[in-house]
Amino acid sequence: MAEQKVHLKIRRQDGLNGQAYWQEFKVPYEPGMNVITCLEEIRRNPKTAAGKPVAPVAWECCCLEEVCGACSMRINGTPQQACSALVEDFQQPITLEPLDTFPIVRDLIVDRSEMFRNLIRVKAWVPIDGTYDLGPGPRQPAKEQTWMYVLSRCMTCGCCTDACPQVNDRHEFIGPAILSQVRLFNAHPTGKMHAGVRMDAVMGPGGLTECGNAQNCVEVCPKEIPLTQSISELGRDTLAYGIKRFFSKPDVEM
Ligand code: SF4
Ligand code: SF4
Ligand code: FES
């Protein structure tokens, strides 16, 4: 009986300014294999479907359990994690492309630094490091912990940003994941002390008003983070904050 194969079509590019091109590969099928397993097989034996030796395909992964966000790519056109993408769930040939929103480093590897720069821009952290002990912090009801935990599962994988039509060369929109993190840190018992600084950031250029409410983001998030809910809650909060800011002094700087 002929060996069962997985047929892959991969968009490749040597670097940021290189020319994109497609190559096809066929790797032996094994039950339960995922897209990373296929890419590992191509790395072991870098030959096209026609048998031509080529440079191994470049891609990234780390955790292999949908936690680090490194293996994001477009699989059959949809941004998702390659480590949790089971071959049997896809129609063949399976097309692999780099995320479109970020600069290409090589083949399927993109540079997601912009997301991390945006997290810095909105101060998505709780400032607990200092020269003195801040103590245990206020207690938090279990109900709040539950919904905040869902938001905290964001792995900055970039899938939502890739799917969002508002993140492009014409806008400086920071994207849905960053807005959701603002909601998370503003709700944190210690983080909320600096909520105003974050609100100022999301009310500025590239912030909340750039969202066109297309809802593509929430559909692709592998962690099922309620991004559009975060965005609408944040919209309500910015309205209240705007009124408060109008009548009071600026918030504390971090
Ligand atoms: S709802 Fe907003 S953030 Fe989400 S995809 Fe649409 S425009 Fe982008
Ligand atoms: S919100 Fe979801 S899709 Fe967006 S970066 Fe976080 S985990 Fe990825
Ligand atoms: S390798 Fe970490 S999310 Fe896929």
- Cβ < 6 A, ligand 2 pocket: 154-160, 177, 180, 221-223, 225, 227
> What is the residue with the minimal CA distance to atom 6 of ligand 2?
154
Mean pLDDT of the chain: 93
Looking at residue 1, its pLDDT comes to 62
Encoded tokens for 91: 């129609």
Interior/surface letters 92-102, b for 16+ CB within 10 angstroms, e for the rest: ebbbbbbbebb
Looking at residue 250, its pLDDT comes to 57
Q: Is the Cβ–Cβ distance between 162 and 74 less than 8 Å? A: yes
Percent of the chain surpassing pLDDT 70: 97
C-beta of 70 in contact with ligand 3 (< 6 A) = yes
Pocket test for ligand 2, best of 81, 221, 229 (most atoms within 8 A of CB): 221
**pLDDT single digits (tens) 159-213:** 999 999 999 888 889 999 999 999 999 999 889 888 999 999 999 999 999 998 8
Q: Residue 166: helix, strand or coil by DSSP?
A: coil
**pLDDT single digits (tens) 24-66:** 999 999 999 999 999 999 999 999 999 999 999 999 999 999 9
Q: What's the pTM value of the predicted model, to 2 decimals?
A: 0.92
Three-class HEC string of 180-207:
HHHHHHHHCCCHHHHHHHHHHHHCCCCC
Encoded tokens for 179: 């807005």
CA dihedral for 141, 144, 150, 156, sign (positive or negative)? negative
